[in-house]
Amino acid sequence: MSFEEALLKGPDGPDFALPVRAFGETKPLSHWAVDPRANCRVTTMRRRIAQGWDAEQAISEEPQSRSTLGTGVPHRAFGRSMGLED
């Protein structure tokens, strides 16, 4: 599909919505990702659920490691240390 077609479908379209039941509620993963009980990103949740994780655990468990992108953590390369935005 084209980029424009993908945008028209949106994140809640039938091709993208994956209803997940957890904590007594059923919501699409995109809604779980902004739930206060979520401790990981939607891509992590989707991968975990595909691997057979319990939904509540997939949503609430912290990842073993997190990306430092966008956190302000300096990256070191070529003898220099700077933020990603630099």
CB of 55 within 8 A of CB of 29? no
| pLDDT over 80 (residue 73) | no
With vertex at residue 13, the alpha carbon angle to CA 47 and CA 46, rounded to the nearest 5 degrees, is: 5
pTM for the model stands at: 0.59
In this predicted structure, what is the pLDDT of residue 60?
93
Query: How confident is the model over 35-56, as a mean pLDDT?
Result: 90
Say if residue 86's pLDDT is above 60.
no
